Amino acid sequence: MGKTTIQLLKSAASKLKEKKLQRLGGKEITEVLNALVLSLGLESKGEAILFTALFEKSCAGRSCDLDDLARYFSCTYLDIMEYVPALKSLVSKGLVVQTDMSECQLVCQDFIVTNHVIDCVLENRKIEAWKKHSEESGFNRYDFCKLVDAHVQDDKVKAEELFQFLETAEKENAGMPLVKEAKAAIASLPARALFYEICYDFMDDDGEGHSDIMRTLKDMYESCGARFRERGALLDGSHSLVKAGLVEISGNKEDMFLSLKGQKLFLGEDFGSFGKQYAGLDCYDFVREVAALVHSKERKRNRLGSRQQLFEKIILMEDSNPQVTSLPLIKGMIPEADCRALFYSVCDACIRGSGVALLEELDALYARKECLVHSQEFKEEKHKLQVLDLVEVRTESGLFGEYTMLGLTDKGKECYFGEDARYFMEKSKAKNCIQALDIKEKRLFFSEQEERQLLLVENSLKEENYQALVSRLDAKGLSKGIAVLLYGAPGTGKTESVMQWARKTGRDVFHVDISQSKSMWYGESEKIVKEIFTSYKRQCKRASVKPILLFNEADAIFSKRRGIGSGSVDQTENAIQNIILEEMEKLEGILIATTNLADNLDRAFERRFLFKIRFERPSADIKRRIWLDKLPMLAEADAGFLAANFDFSGGEIDNIARKALMMEVLDGEVPSVEAIVKLCGEEKIGGTRARIGFGY
């Protein structure tokens, strides 16, 4: 039965120790060394000789340098130097490792047999996994960068010596993924030296490390000229590390750090498990992490993250979370990473029941000039997120005034949250929105001419006809908005006509309270009017059919504009009118205004109304029909008498009918004609007497 590896090593040690590496050609020692070569998978007897000495020292817990080996064999340094190739071969096989990475000269380096190999020898197991073990616990990318750093920090090592050492170190570790990929990506040897040093700093500070530019260059170069040349290239972006996207410069121009691409090259397979994890997130945690990155303190200090690195991290997060099914849709709609970052921040705010401050968010993502460009795009409603109908601009009041906020549209909520979007949908019925389903049917009576005009508008507002009309207008390059002016005496049915159009065509009515648009605070009115149109556009996007924007009794803001020399109040009203004129010009919806004072209407408004319908006071015949509709118990003759003798509008007749109903409820009987006539006399302030011929 053959000897075990430990027995062979004991036999070899007894024949080699203190023998001055002489008389090694004998049959007995040759047989032992050959047996060790086979047992350990070595390539030469020289490797077996050195491994024997190193193994004995390692079992005692001691590492050896060349001086220790010379003393072990009782030979000279020159004798040992002949075995240096064998020593390097043992290191490359992973049987022996260098324990002191800071030493660059071979004569000062310490070596020891790995614990894995010692265990295999003691248990008489074949060392089958030594390569894998060498990669895991032996010399690796981190040790390599640490070795480079040791030479960079050595004041005695000049730049040329550093680069010569690095060239040798890369040759000796040519199979290391870090070295192979770095040489492929970075052609310049000095640039690779700088890259390895930045990698070491990154690793040395738990993955958040940065390198001071001037201090690092001072450690690498003894020449001031070389330092400033390298610094200039780093800052102006012409340095190969910056151009390759491996290294970024901080906003304060003092630090450099690995970009996400640089981290991937350095960390290799460890990239996914190094630092903070961004995988396994749901749609809620995903946007929360993005918002945290956008507003991180490190980015605000311009130290640990640039815009590009931020966007790279977001792309990494997107790729790492395939379970968030909305991300491919969002990436398809918004190819730009910066735009997606903004969208994700708005999504996070939506979860918290709020919006994001426009200027604050833009400031976190862009340089100052870019902030202004994007801000202007939002003001003009031309930003990509607005064009895609994913985000809308809102005005909210706060402790220190009003703020321009960004919020998700319903489409944006559906695109990102999918089925969960229903949890974030706002109620479609706003406080100033009258829903079509809530409008009760009411009969109206008009002259033949008025009926014809009103029917034309009604038919135009029916959805099928409306869509066809808008398409034709758009094809001819005309304004797609439909504006209608209803003017005439009070109580003639203007407002009620709008309500009945809304009921019949299924359109909600977005009702504008004129009094709210005339704020007591100078300058506030313009903002309120602007918000009216912004809110209406928001309602249009949410509704299946476009609602009606109703300016009821609009005399106050549609009147003729004042002269240039007018006071501040008049100037404010002029500003309001200019806003309305501008919004009417680009209107994509339905605007209806009612007014009692058409003669006071500004000409600029007049030409912007597609339909202009005058409501006359009702004729005697129409009043008769109204009386019969409101009070069915009246005889034809009585209704005719009331119509002929009282000059009432439909609204005034409606008032009398309501009071007659109250009398019926209180008295328990239908009021007589005499009682109704008395009510007619009380309708107008000062009383109204019947004309001559009144017989009751």
| Residue 137: predicted pLDDT | 44
Nearest C-alpha neighbor of 453 from the set 620, 615, 629: 615
Tokens of 673: 């004609």
Residue 125 has pLDDT above 60, yes or no: yes
| pLDDT per residue as tens digits for the range 35-84 | 999 988 899 999 999 999 999 998 888 888 899 999 999 999 888 999 99
For the ranges 15-19, 45-49, 200-204, the one whose mean pLDDT is highest: 45-49
At the top level of CATH, which class does the domain 5-137 belong to?
mainly alpha
**Would you identify the CATH topology of the domain 433-615?**
Rossmann fold (3.40.50)
More confident residue, 416 or 518: 416
Residue 212 has pLDDT above 80, yes or no: yes
Nearest C-alpha neighbor of 147 from the set 182, 96, 99: 99
| Residue 97: predicted pLDDT | 76
| Residue 502: predicted pLDDT | 94
| Residue 647: predicted pLDDT | 86
Residue 94 has pLDDT above 60, yes or no: yes
Residue 121 has pLDDT above 70, yes or no: yes
Look at residue 97 and give its three-state secondary structure: strand
Distance CA 179, CA 175 (A): 7
Max CA distance (Å), the chain: 156
| Residue 131: predicted pLDDT | 41
Q: Which of 162-176, 319-333, 380-394 has the lowest mean pLDDT?
A: 162-176
More confident residue, 584 or 154: 584
Distance CA 352, CA 381 (A): 25
Alpha helices for 101-239 (secondary structure H): 115-122, 130-137, 141-153, 159-172, 177-185, 189-204, 213-220, 224-236
Distance CA 139, CA 18 (A): 31
| Residue 298: predicted pLDDT | 54
**345 CB burial (10 A radius; 0-12, 13-18, 19+):** buried
Nearest C-alpha neighbor of 188 from the set 113, 141, 246: 246
Look at residue 609 and give its three-state secondary structure: coil
pTM of structure: 0.50
> Tokens 């079992």, residue?
59
Distance CA 75, CA 1 (A): 35
Chain centroid to Cα 39, Å, comes to: 61
Residue 567 has pLDDT above 60, yes or no: no
SS3 per residue for 399-435? CCEEEEEEEECHHHHHHHHHHHHHHCCCCCCCCCEEC
Distance CA 190, CA 223 (A): 14
Distance CA 237, CA 20 (A): 59
**C-beta of residue 95 within 8 angstroms of C-beta of residue 101:** no
Q: Which of 220-229, 395-404, 579-588, 633-642 has the lowest mean pLDDT?
A: 395-404
| Residue 129: predicted pLDDT | 41
Residue 307 has pLDDT above 80, yes or no: no
Distance CA 419, CA 485 (A): 42
Over residues 199-218, the mean pLDDT reads 81
Distance CA 636, CA 538 (A): 50
**C-beta of residue 308 within 8 angstroms of C-beta of residue 259:** yes
| Residue 272: predicted pLDDT | 67
Distance CA 6, CA 40 (A): 11
Look at residue 586 and give its three-state secondary structure: coil
For the ranges 228-237, 483-492, 507-516, 605-614, the one whose mean pLDDT is highest: 228-237
- Place 547 in a pLDDT band, splitting at 50, 70 and 90: very high
**C-alpha angle 479/480/486, rounded to 5°?**
90
- Place 168 in a pLDDT band, splitting at 50, 70 and 90: confident
Determine how many CB atoms are found less than 10 A away from the CB of residue 407: 19
Distance CA 55, CA 47 (A): 12
Question: By percentage, how much of the chain surpasses pLDDT 70?
Answer: 87
| Residue 346: predicted pLDDT | 94
More confident residue, 173 or 400: 173
| Residue 10: predicted pLDDT | 93
Cα(first)–Cα(last) distance of the chain, in Å?
143
| Residue 562: predicted pLDDT | 60
| Residue 205: predicted pLDDT | 57
Residue 398's H or E segment, with its range, is strand 391-398
Nearest C-alpha neighbor of 429 from the set 509, 545, 516, 517: 509
Residue 103 has pLDDT above 90, yes or no: no
**363 CB burial (10 A radius; 0-12, 13-18, 19+):** middle
Q: Which of 66-70, 114-118, 446-450 has the lowest mean pLDDT?
A: 114-118
| pLDDT per residue as tens digits for the range 671-686 | 888 888 888 888 877 6
Question: By percentage, how much of the chain surpasses pLDDT 90?
Answer: 33
| pLDDT per residue as tens digits for the range 481-518 | 899 999 988 888 999 999 999 999 999 999 887 765 55
Over residues 281-301, the mean pLDDT reads 81
Residue 234 has pLDDT above 60, yes or no: yes
Mean pLDDT score across all residues of the chain: 83
Distance CA 46, CA 29 (A): 12
More confident residue, 123 or 426: 123
Q: Which of 247-251, 456-460, 474-478, 684-688 has the lowest mean pLDDT?
A: 684-688
The phi and psi torsions of 97 (rounded to 5 degrees) equal -125, 155
For the ranges 159-163, 293-297, 349-353, 476-480, the one whose mean pLDDT is highest: 349-353
Chain centroid to Cα 196, Å, comes to: 33
- Place 109 in a pLDDT band, splitting at 50, 70 and 90: confident
The listed CATH number (3.30.70, 1.10.10, 3.40.50, 2.60.40) that belongs to domain 283-423: 1.10.10
- Place 301 in a pLDDT band, splitting at 50, 70 and 90: very low
| Residue 460: predicted pLDDT | 92
Nearest C-alpha neighbor of 688 from the set 157, 679, 280: 679
**C-beta of residue 630 within 8 angstroms of C-beta of residue 657:** yes
Q: What residues does 357 pair with on adjacent strands?
A: 405
Distance CA 189, CA 191 (A): 5
